[in-house]
């Protein structure tokens, strides 16, 4: 305890960000140190799991020390240690888990395993002090595209998910074939502002009539086929037009399904989360759609959209309050289902 508030440490290492954060009573961020590996992986055009694991190992102690110094705390002041245990890259997850378990064992602190997507959803509790469950959540990132009915702080029902590529993954792949670089999401978002979103008609995939699932592999293939066809015809491709048209096609499906889920389940609040939640077009389209339907929209700031320790600390705080503690057998689950309550 510090000044009568419960101090939670959050450790995140599921992909290519090494992050340690400290929060007071879950929602007040005392520090949130993030070490990104974007420049390391740019040369490969995507995250290389083994390299990511090695950099987590090199960075984790430094990030921890910086987080403690910024918060002005010592390990003895920490009441709970939360850590991402899945889903994610197994080698990367294991670095964070080993660190958290060592600290919890050495200092005699409670250990709380956290689902990565629960962390993303919890970022909104930090951003919006008044937000409480229940609500509908849209989680859009490099590895996930989920529509989640949030019944409680640690109670979830997944209503829709991607059947192939996640939205962020599709953005990365399309950016690669356009020669834009990595990471693709911000680059497409930027160049699309200069293009005509109606220049190329890419197919919107809605799947079965009542489905809330997503599929983005088809549109990725559609972009590739278009580029090849234009090359064979000897035509110059306007990359901005292609990026804008691709982005609009993806976002129309996401917005349509997210708003429909909120209406069908009678939720008057919709929460955005994940790295792609920082996309400017998605924010505008979802904001406009929610305004038309009388649905309150909640979005985290860009720093809380990316992977970070603060969101894990917040999620761990609420799991701790509900008695959902973990023990030293806590392991990494690369494909951990969100509905798994006991970790």
Return the H-helix or E-strand segment holding 323: none
**Do 214 and 164 fall into the same domain?**
yes
* Residue-level pLDDT at 245: 98
Three-state SS string across 58-116, please?
A: HHHHHHHHHHHHHHCCCHHHCCEEEEEEECCCHHHHHHHHHHHHHHHHHHCCCEEEEEH
User: Which residues span the domain enclosing 143?
Assistant: 133-299
Residues 168 and 117 in one domain: no
> 225 with 281, same domain?
yes
User: Which residues, 6+ apart, have CB-to-CB distance to 131 below 8 Å?
Assistant: 124, 125, 269, 271, 298
Question: Same domain for 99 and 165?
Answer: no
Q: What is the pLDDT of residue 4?
A: 82
Q: In degrees rounded to 5, what are phi and psi of residue 339?
A: -70, -10
Q: What is the pLDDT of residue 12?
A: 98
Identify the sign of the CA torsion 323, 309, 165, 124. positive
Is 50 a member of any domain?
A: yes
Integer-rounded Cα radius of gyration of the chain: 20
Identify whether residues 103 and 165 lie together within a single domain.
no
328 domain residue, yes or no: no
Residue 340 lies in a domain: no
Place of tokens 């290389």: 48
Q: What is the signed CA dihedral for 290, 292, 296, 300, rounded to 10 degrees?
A: 40
CATH of the domain at 203: 3.30.420.40
Predicted local confidence at residue 42, as pLDDT:
86
Pair (281, 190) in one structural domain: yes
- Across the chain, which has 343 residues, the per-10-residue mean pLDDT values are 88 97 98 93 88 95 98 97 97 98 97 97 97 97 93 97 92 94 93 97 93 95 95 95 97 98 98 94 97 97 95 98 97 95 90
Strand partners of residue 82 = 10, 112
Q: Tell whether 93 and 229 lie within a shared domain.
A: no
Q: Could you give the angle at the alpha carbon of 200 between the alpha carbons of 193 and 258, nearest 5°? A: 70
Residue 249 and residue 171 share a domain: yes
Give the residue from 177, 208, 196, 297 showing the smallest Cα distance to 245.
196
Q: What is the pLDDT of residue 96?
A: 98
Q: Is residue 2 part of a domain?
A: no
**Both tokens assigned to 305:** 């959209």
Coil vs helix vs strand at 126? helix
* Best CA proximity match to 124, nearest among 137, 141, 109, 111: 137
Residue 221 falls within a domain, yes or no? yes
Residues 6+ apart with CB under 8 A from 215: 162, 163, 164, 165, 205, 207
Indicate whether 160 and 180 sit together in one domain.
yes
Confidence (pLDDT) at 86? 96
Report pLDDT for 105. 97
Statement to judge: residues 98 and 194 lie in one domain: no
Contacts for 49 with CB less than 8 Å, ≥ 6 apart: 89, 90, 91, 92
**Sheet-wide strand order for 7-12:** 28-36, 17-24, 7-12, 80-86, 111-115
**335: in domain:** no
pLDDT value at residue 142 = 80
Contacts of 86 (CB under 8 A, 6+ apart): 14, 93, 115, 116, 332, 333, 334, 335, 336
The answer to whether 47 touches 143, Cβ cutoff 8 Å, is no
The pTM score is 0.95
Whose tokens are 């064992």? That residue is 105
Q: Same structural domain for residues 311 and 267?
A: no
Strands (E) across the chain are located at 7-12, 17-24, 28-36, 80-86, 111-115, 135-140, 145-152, 155-161, 269-273, 296-298
- Assess if residue 326 is contained within a domain: no
* Residue 138 CA neighbour count, 13 Å, CB half: 33
Number of domains the chain contains: 2
In a domain, 73, yes or no: yes
Quick one: CA dihedral 210, 215, 216, 219, positive or negative? negative
Residue 153 shares a structural domain with residue 277: yes
Nearest to 95 by CA among 143, 35, 154, 136: 35
Count other Cβ atoms within 10 Å, centred on residue 200.
Answer: 21
Selection from 342, 343, 340 nearest residue 157 by Cα:
340
């Amino acid at each position: 305890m510090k000044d009568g508030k419960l101090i939670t440490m959050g450790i995140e290492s599921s992909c290519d960000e090494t992050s340690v954060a400290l929060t007071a009573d879950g929602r007040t961020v005392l520090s949130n140190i993030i070490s990104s590996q974007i420049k390391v992986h740019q040369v490969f055009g995507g995250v290389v799991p083994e390299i990511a694991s090695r950099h987590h190992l090199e960075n984790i102690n430094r990030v921890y020390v910086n987080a403690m110094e910024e918060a002005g705390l010592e390990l003895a002041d920490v009441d709970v240690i939360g850590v991402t245990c899945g889903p994610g890259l197994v080698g990367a997850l294991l670095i964070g888990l080993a660190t958290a378990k060592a600290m919890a064992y050495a200092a005699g602190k409670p250990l709380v395993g956290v689902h990565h997507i629960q962390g993303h959803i919890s970022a909104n509790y930090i951003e919006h002090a008044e937000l409480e469950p229940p609500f509908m959540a849209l989680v859009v990132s490099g590895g996930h595209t989920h529509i989640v009915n949030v019944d409680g702080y640690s109670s979830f029902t997944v209503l829709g998910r991607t059947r192939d590529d996640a939205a962020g993954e599709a953005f990365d792949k399309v950016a690669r074939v356009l020669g834009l670089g990595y990471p693709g999401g911000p680059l497409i978002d930027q160049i699309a502002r200069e293009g005509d979103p109606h220049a190329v008609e890419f197919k919107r995939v809605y799947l079965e009539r009542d489905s809330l699932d997503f599929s983005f592999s088809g549109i990725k293939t559609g972009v590739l086929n278009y580029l090849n066809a234009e090359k064979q015809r000897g035509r110059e491709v306007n990359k901005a037009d292609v990026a804008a048209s691709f982005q609009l096609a993806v976002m129309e499906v996401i917005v349509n399904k997210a708003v429909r889920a909120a209406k069908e389940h009678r939720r008057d609040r919709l929460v955005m989360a994940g790295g792609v939640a920082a996309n400017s077009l998605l924010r505008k389209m979802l904001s406009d759609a929610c305004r038309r339907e009388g649905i309150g929209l909640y979005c985290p700031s860009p720093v809380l959209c990316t992977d970070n320790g603060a969101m894990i600390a917040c999620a761990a705080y609420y799991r701790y309050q509900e008695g959902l503690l973990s023990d030293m057998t806590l392991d990494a689950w690369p494909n951990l289902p969100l509905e798994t309550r006991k970790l």
